[in-house]
Structure 1
């Protein structure tokens, strides 16, 4: 006998609704491996079919593939999967597309038997689910995984499917791949252009933008703050501070590479950026002179865009070098990218210079030196920008610089 359950927010709970009783109607074989998949009455009525797995007892390693169809599925419907072992339970959301579903489900709790229950949406109540079937998976892996957190409403509204990773708790070698699809079920929902990712380690925080192209996304996210535990949050661009899904991961790389790894708009690993940085600094010998050459290149080759009044999610070094214009944000992104490309530690500084402003710091030896390629590029005369290279804003006098550039914040 199976009870109906409802999904409240991001947590699957029992709820104070009338009990729904669904009897399993298929017979069960007696031998492991030959045990038949059993379905509830609700599953039968809804046209639920499970194609994978094919038997009620299967063997898996860290995960198991669930694939099937739901004939009565509506746009935006989701399958809920509950995975349990030894009194512990986690869940996984699987999106339904064209009445079909297919996704790997994690076996969270290490080696041994996991009980897997598949739940389908009710036909009349939002976030109310009925048990459809259940089966057992013998996990051969001892890996302990952590269930991801979901905001089920946003996940459904924007049609998000995070295909990789499928669970939290895994250890990565310096970066983690986020991959999936974004396909809103309603035509009234604006198509998503980008996702925002936060990858935070304690008080250290970093933000990244992932483009969504043809309803798909795939990008490696750096774990830039060294070894330890990270919280990764994936957010639809329009929502910003309301994560759609979050997970915990571990980084095995001990080195803290926060000022050397690529960042959003700071594409220091791009072949074009690397080649340009090497070309700019080819005749320079010391890190200080290489940094000065990069500062001069950005200041003289980029013009201030008097018409641009804010930052955009797709801003970056490649875009700025292509368009040869931008605001302080773009100057700073480009300079940082070129410095990091030749392994000079660099950081983007956000602060105030009479109005919100951005500049750069580079680590030369054991000292951080400031530079402001925007102010070094020229000046405004009314509504016009006048190109006039000024070398004095590279490694300026600290006391003088602090009078005009205040409230600094390192942004990753």
Structure 2
């Protein structure tokens, strides 16, 4: 009877889990170990002999299909027998050239149920018609049914029964072989672990080789526990792969499926192997959420590996950009959006040599934050706004107090040495926050000239900032605000960046400053306090104090506040 091949089944490379611990060396124990192992082995061999003595050791029978393709088995010899933990299956197919496949399909089924189920499958390559496979008994002592199938001679992916036999395993030790599907064999997979059944605690470090896959190709990992599933892509580099896999869903048994690219269908993956992981940790973590930009823009996020971390007031991210990905060389920074309730902040982390590694503030006080990492839109035309595309999202819980208006922020480098030095000079001898704020307003309004060209041509850059303004001493409203806020915060005065519209009769986008003076928020617009643009479209410096703590009613006639930006 024909049996259709299930290529999406597990396959793994033989070995067993070895546990060790450090202790003071005891040579007497080491000397006794080989002797004890021999005694144990001898015990099981005696059990095999005793069990076989009670069985009728009938010769293995082959199917009519085996006769059709001239298949012979050198091992095993009998259709029911006993074994000590492992057996060999060895055979030859004389008419192997007629077969529509290159693998022998071996199914091993345990009569009893174990932690990983009751069946393991092997796809054993044939070489010049010869095949050999070592089979371990994954559920320890007990009865196992083994079926060996060969490919059909007419239809691909169909297999015929060739031989079936029963094995009574007397060894109580469970050994779970690593097996590979045909797709796993063809990808040249080899894993760094020695067993298909592993005991881990919270994190599984997984790696290996994929010698037949090209660099930049990816393998897919699917981690499953009960109804939960997590998918992750790992890139091949120099024929190897490596990643850490968080065991997100707490204590218990996990199934890890390893899938490799289907050579005939783009963006399609086939099962290559299945591993089982027994997690001892009770901790439940949050999987990261990835978006299409992650793959499209060649991002690899190295840290964090999971969401739900707890921290005080800062958090770090680390990763790299594939230089061969679309816009890889042009991706000079990533954006970090942090959101808590209705509050949201945007930070920038530079990309240098295609790598990013930086931290950001969780500025809105204790609680849970939603963090989104994004790559910028790459465009040629100038614009006064920036668009960016999220590639990953996760949650972080912070415990630090709310210092949103004192901490450095995007464009506001209030802890930079240059800013601190300037703040100390401007506020020397001034005791009140109001006097400090007035000195900052006056300095910025008198010393920064308005950049008409930048405004008219939309020459805005992602790295516009207080430091950039301090260096050039020119800019538009955002740059005046950046510098004033940075100096105020460096002076210990709470300050924030206000967005809105200003002007008459046709208001345009505008930014100014609010500073907290004597417990009250006070408006200040150093841009409008610096001068004006004449009819020749030239900036005329004309310092005035009208826009330091202006009359609110008068200020609202020309300025409409839309919100605060962090």
Q: Which residue of 2 aligns with 1:411?
A: 565
Separation of aligned partners in 1, 2:183 and 2:194 = 19
5 Å-filtered alignment, 1:224-303, equals: 224-238=363-377, 240-253=387-400, 255-303=401-449
What secondary structure does 1:145 align onto? coil
1:402 aligns with 2:556: yes
1:326 equivalent among 452, 455, 475: 475
Q: Residue 351 of structure 1 contacts residue 408 of structure 1 at CA under 8 Å; is this kept in 2?
A: yes
5 Å-filtered alignment, 1:2-401, equals: 20-24=7-11, 26-27=13-14, 29=16, 35-51=176-192, 53-74=193-214, 76-151=216-291, 153-186=292-325, 191-238=330-377, 240-253=387-400, 255-308=401-454, 309-353=458-502, 354-381=507-534, 382-401=536-555
Q: Residue 174 of structure 1 contacts residue 251 of structure 1 at CA under 8 Å; is this kept in 2?
A: yes
Q: Residue 158 of structure 1 contacts residue 184 of structure 1 at CA under 8 Å; is this kept in 2?
A: no
- C-alpha distance 275-73 of structure 1, shift in aligned 2 (>3 A): farther
Q: Residue 90 of structure 1 contacts residue 147 of structure 1 at CA under 8 Å; is this kept in 2?
A: yes
Q: Residue 17 of structure 2 contacts residue 198 of structure 2 at CA under 8 Å; is this kept in 1?
A: no
- C-alpha distance 352-166 of structure 1, shift in aligned 2 (>3 A): same
Q: Residue 375 of structure 2 contacts residue 388 of structure 2 at CA under 8 Å; is this kept in 1?
A: no
What secondary structure does 1:335 align onto? helix
Separation of aligned partners in 1, 2:327 and 2:239 = 20
- C-alpha distance 349-48 of structure 1, shift in aligned 2 (>3 A): same
Q: Displacement, 1:67?
A: 2.4
- C-alpha distance 120-274 of structure 1, shift in aligned 2 (>3 A): farther
Separation of aligned partners in 1, 2:435 and 2:392 = 45
Who wins on radius of gyration, i.e. which is larger? Answer: 2
State the Cα RMSD in Å.
2.5
Deviations 1:126-179 (A, max 9, x none): 33222233334444543321111112x422221101111111111121121111
Instruction: Give ranges in structure 2 of 5+ residues lacking alignment.
Output: 21-174, 379-386
How many residues end up aligned between the 2 structures? 392
Deviations 1:328-371 (A, max 9, x none): 11111111122222332111011111211100101112210011
What secondary structure does 2:344 align onto? coil
Q: Which residue of 2 aligns with 1:14?
A: none
Deviating more after overlay: 70-79 vs 291-300? 70-79
Q: Residue 25 of structure 1 contacts residue 41 of structure 1 at CA under 8 Å; is this kept in 2?
A: no
Instruction: Give ranges in structure 1 of 5+ residues lacking alignment.
Output: 1-17
Deviating more after overlay: 135-144 vs 273-282? 135-144
What secondary structure does 2:343 align onto? coil
What secondary structure does 1:168 align onto? coil
Separation of aligned partners in 2, 1:170 and 1:362 = 33
Q: Which residue of 1 aligns with 2:69?
A: none
Q: Residue 318 of structure 2 contacts residue 357 of structure 2 at CA under 8 Å; is this kept in 1?
A: yes
Deviating more after overlay: 310-319 vs 28-37? 28-37
Q: Displacement, 1:187?
A: 6.7
